[in-house]
Amino acid sequence: MSGISKRYAKAIEGLDLENLYPLSEAVKIIKDRSSVKFDETVEISINLGVDSNKSDQVVRGVVDLPKGTGKTLKVAVFARDKKAKEAKDAGADIVGAEDLAVNIEKGEVDFDRVVATPDMMAVVGKLGKVLGPRGLMPNPKLGSVTLELDKAIKSIKAGQVEFKAEKAGIIHAGLGKVSFGEKDILENISSFIDSVQKARPSGAKGQFIKKINIASVKNYGRYGFDPSLIVPTSPYNPNKMWKRVVQIIGKMKNPTYFTENQTTSVNPHNDLEPQESANVIIDHVLDGIEIAKKNKLPDRIIDFIRTHHGTSSVYYFYMQEKKF
């Protein structure tokens, strides 16, 4: 147990982390072993048998959780005139048009979701550099570009969750709070898994859902999580999830410079010289070490961050530099 905190060691005491726990038992373990003073998020992570780099294997969707998320989301809406009034009446926190776009360009992004009427997309589209990397760009396929503002806003407020498989084919989502009843958490999980199954792309071959883990999470966000307890609901060791956490820690400083965080066609490397781009890639290892030390991560995690990219050249940008 060296290299992990005393609190985490106590949380996993007596658990067989190589075992496959039924979902109902996994949820019970999460609830029974919660030891913090605040209400943790119950997170699900699903490893899919897809290659997210291929256009016919993209997994993305939205689900209305029957028991909500336990979190109040702030919704910003782009709309004019009667539709602006409809948005306000439906409970939107921020409503505007060009004025809202100006505020966003200034860095005022104090909301969790964005909805827009179709006629406003000419304005919203110019905000791709700001909204895209944050996963906030409205999408008609997800119902966030719509004339039915009342329905869209109320669904988000009631506990609607968007999901998208990241580059490694993994989906993360918060599906409630530890304080929820076991049946409520299980109902949310079942609805989420059903929605993911229905979103199976035509290009997916073989086993679609390969692994599921349930975790209690202190800080849930788009670029990773801080688990208090991970309970496997598959035959694989959930500690391997730390490898993914390690890989993204250093990228938190400049997330949009890495392809897995680029949700639009905008690539900031296009504005840099090859040497500058290579430095950004190389420096994320040092940034990761700094962040890990600041947050007192175990030495074994820091050692992995230090060595996980080896000593080879940043080949792509090396070849770009040779062209000049």
**Phi and psi angles of residue 78, each rounded to the nearest 5 degrees, phi first:** -95, 110
Listed range (30-34, 41-45, 97-101) with the worst mean pLDDT = 30-34
pLDDT of residue 244 exceeding 70, the answer is no
Q: Which residue, 129, 165, 142, 138, is CA-closest to 79? A: 138
- CA dist 144 and 146 (Å) reads 6
Check residue 150 and give its pLDDT. Answer: 96
Highest mean pLDDT among 114-128, 161-175, 257-271, 277-291: 114-128
Highest mean pLDDT among 107-111, 143-147, 235-239: 143-147
Q: Which residue, 294, 316, 313, 315, is CA-closest to 305? A: 294
Q: What is the CA radius of gyration of the chain?
A: 21
pLDDT of residue 161 exceeding 60, the answer is yes
CATH of domain 6-69+159-236: 3.30.190.20
Position 219 confidence tier, pLDDT thresholds 50, 70, 90? very low
pLDDT of residue 65 exceeding 70, the answer is yes
Q: Do domains 6-69+159-236 and 75-153 have the same CATH topology?
A: no
For the chain, what are the domain ranges? 6-69+159-236, 75-153, 252-323
Residue 93, SS3? coil
In the DSSP assignment, the letter for residue 75 is E
**Phi and psi angles of residue 161, each rounded to the nearest 5 degrees, phi first:** -125, 130
* Angle of helix 299-307 versus helix 274-294 axis, rounded to 10: 170
Listed range (12-21, 66-75, 127-136) with the worst mean pLDDT = 12-21
Tell me the helix, strand and coil percentages in the chain, rounded to 5.
45, 20, 35
Terminus-to-terminus CA distance in the chain, angstroms?
Answer: 51
- CA dist 59 and 51 (Å) reads 10
Average pLDDT of span 62-91: 94
Which residue in the block uniquely carries the two structure tokens 């430095």? 279
pLDDT of residue 239 exceeding 50, the answer is no
- CA dist 234 and 243 (Å) reads 17
Q: Are 77 and 94 in contact (CB under 8 A)?
A: yes
pLDDT of residue 247 exceeding 60, the answer is no
Which residue in the block uniquely carries the two structure tokens 């119950």? 42
Check residue 31 and give its pLDDT. Answer: 84
Q: Identify which has the larger pLDDT, 3 or 28.
A: 28
How is domain 75-153 classified at the CATH fold level?
Rossmann fold (3.40.50)
Check residue 86 and give its pLDDT. Answer: 96
Position 154 confidence tier, pLDDT thresholds 50, 70, 90? very high
Q: Identify which has the larger pLDDT, 135 or 96.
A: 96
pTM of the entire predicted model = 0.62
pLDDT of residue 232 exceeding 60, the answer is no
Average pLDDT of span 33-44: 80
Q: What is the pLDDT of residues 41-59, one digit of tens each?
A: 888 888 898 988 888 999 9
* Angle of helix 241-249 versus helix 299-307 axis, rounded to 10: 60
Q: Looking at the chain, how many residues does it have?
A: 324
Check residue 241 and give its pLDDT. Answer: 45
pLDDT of residue 198 exceeding 70, the answer is yes
Q: Which residue, 59, 34, 33, is CA-closest to 48? A: 59
